[in-house]
Amino acid sequence: MVLAGWLAAARVYFVLDENNAGSFDAEIRQDAIDILGDLRESWLRPTTWARVDEALTRMAKAIADGDQAEVRSATIALELLSPRRTDPIGAMDEKPQKKTDDEIVDLIHALGGDKDPQKDGKTDKPSGK
């Protein structure tokens, strides 16, 4: 997808500040930040990560456009792709690639989330909850 390549290359995101932080409802912003944070620690199949990348691109564009409804829609799409909603943990599951993880962190920042999100350093797959 051309837009995904542009976003990855340019890393241009609409960053919320004191002047425009009110453009997104606090609940929508927090829901998006929460699911993005969860995705950083998720183990998913490569095909699911490809769909996550598409939803991340939608979210980045929505943030840049100030489109609250589309941010909510992309958040719902990401929630539906989360490990709680997709197939059980399997041998082909993997953590997000660095490019995807970087995009997630950029979006968390763009939404006004933690300015220095840290991975917890886990490398083992979670127990099949």
- What is the residue range of 92's domain? 28-110
Specify if 60 maps to a domain. Answer: yes
Tokens describing residue 100: 């995807």
- Name the most confidently modeled range: 13-17, 44-48, 111-115: 44-48
Is residue 104 domain-resident? Answer: yes
What pLDDT was estimated at residue 118? 53
Give per-residue pLDDT as tens, 71-123.
Answer: 999 999 999 998 776 666 665 688 889 999 999 999 999 898 875 545 444 44
CA dist 129 and 33 (Å) reads 22
Q: Which long-range contacts (CB under 8 A, 24 or more apart) does 117-126 make?
A: 117/37, 117/40, 119/40, 119/41, 120/41, 122/41, 125/43, 125/89, 125/93, 126/43, 126/89
If you average pLDDT over residues 8-14, what whole number do you get?
Answer: 41
Which secondary-structure segment (H or E) carries 9?
Answer: helix 2-10
Instruction: Report angle CA 84, 27, 89 to the nearest 5 degrees.
Output: 10
Backbone angles phi, psi at 28, to 5 degrees: -65, -45
* 116 falls within a domain: no
Let me know if residue 43 belongs to a domain: yes
Q: What is residue 63's predicted lDDT score, i.e. its pLDDT?
A: 92
pTM: 0.71
Who wins on pLDDT, 11 or 58?
A: 58
The reply to whether 6 falls in a domain is no
SS (HEC) of 53-65: HHHHHHHHHHHHH
For the stretch 47-70, pLDDT in tens is 899 999 999 999 999 999 999 999
pLDDT tens track for 21-36: 447 889 999 999 999 9
Structural domain total, the chain: 1
